Amino acid sequence: MILAIGIVTSSAHGQVDALSDINFFQTGIISTDENKFSISNDISIREFFNGEIIRVSGHTIEGFPYITYSKIIEEKIETRGIIFIGGEFLELLFKEELPEESAVKKNNNLQILVQYTQRVYSEKPAHLDVKVYDPTKNKLNDFNQNYGFLTNKNINVTVLDENKDVFYSDEGVTNEKGLFEIEFFIPERHPRETLTVTIIAEDEHSKSSKILQIFTLGTIPDNDSSS
């Protein structure tokens, strides 16, 4: 994922073109110690001290707000940031090199793609379809790609409510299409809240994870015919 940001930045710092040299603009990915997130096009950029400090804020595609600060130091860019997940701020990690230029770590080389119910009323099911791919064979992150998927990978899914109590959990293995499907119901009169879903894919040599949000909407209004 490569983002084209429609902002022009003048730079008085040698060869450093601040926006194009911020690595996560090139990859479209920000990471914590355990998870990777895709940034959306909903981005706000501000410059301070004549462009020496660049602040970027926005939301990931998974719905988590983040903020980063990049500082130009001797024609290099140092970036730090945080992301808000499950009621707490987590530190974002940034590497100087782009992922395609660095060695792939064995403990995080499974690509997890998900199609899921993002918003759900009480007394309705939430669906979660997880597919696991070899990331080198699915560079477009296409959930429906019919090759490159990985079978017999262990999947663990944990859903936490806003009190960090387990709302639902399940585990199993991917099938012959690299797919693992689950469904869970939202109880009657369940309040509006944000559920945090953590998905872990694992085999003998690799372990990767993905985190996302599901919003419960409470009881269906009388004038809403949602099924």
User: 3 lies in a domain?
Assistant: no
pLDDT of residue 42: 83
Does any domain span residue 72? yes
- In this structure, the answer to whether residues 37 and 59 fall within a common structural domain is yes
- Asked whether residue 122 is domain-assigned, the answer is yes
Closest to 208 in 3D by CA, of 128, 112, 121: 112
In terms of domains, do 129 and 56 share one? no
> Do 119 and 193 reside in the same domain of the chain?
yes
Distance from the Cα of residue 32 to its chain's centroid: 10
The reply to whether 11 falls in a domain is: no
Kindly report the pTM of this predicted structure: 0.69
CA dihedral 2, 104, 153, 156 (to 10 degrees): -70
Write the pLDDT tens digit of every residue in 156-205. Answer: 999 999 999 999 999 999 999 999 999 999 999 999 999 999 999 999 88
How far apart, in whole angstroms, are the C-alpha atoms of residue 196 and residue 216?
11
Q: What is the dihedral sign for C-alpha 191, 85, 38, 203?
A: negative
Q: Are residues 169 and 92 in the same domain?
A: no
The number of distinct structural domains making up the chain is 2
Do 112 and 210 belong to one domain? yes
**What pLDDT is recorded for position 12?**
40
Q: Same structural domain for residues 71 and 132?
A: no
Residue 80 forms part of a structural domain: yes
Same domain flag for 122 and 189: yes
Within-domain flag for 224: no
Range of the domain at 206: 106-216
What pLDDT, on the 0 to 100 scale, is given for residue 20? Answer: 67
- For 25, the 3-state DSSP assignment is helix
Long-range contacts (CB closer than 8 Å, 24 or more residues apart) made by 23-27: 23/79, 23/94, 23/95, 23/96, 23/97, 23/98, 24/68, 24/79, 24/94, 26/2, 26/98, 27/1, 27/2, 27/98, 27/99
Percent of the chain with pLDDT over 70: 83
Residues 147 and 87 in one domain: no
Mark whether 64 and 130 lie in a shared domain.
no
Same domain, residue pair 46 and 96: yes
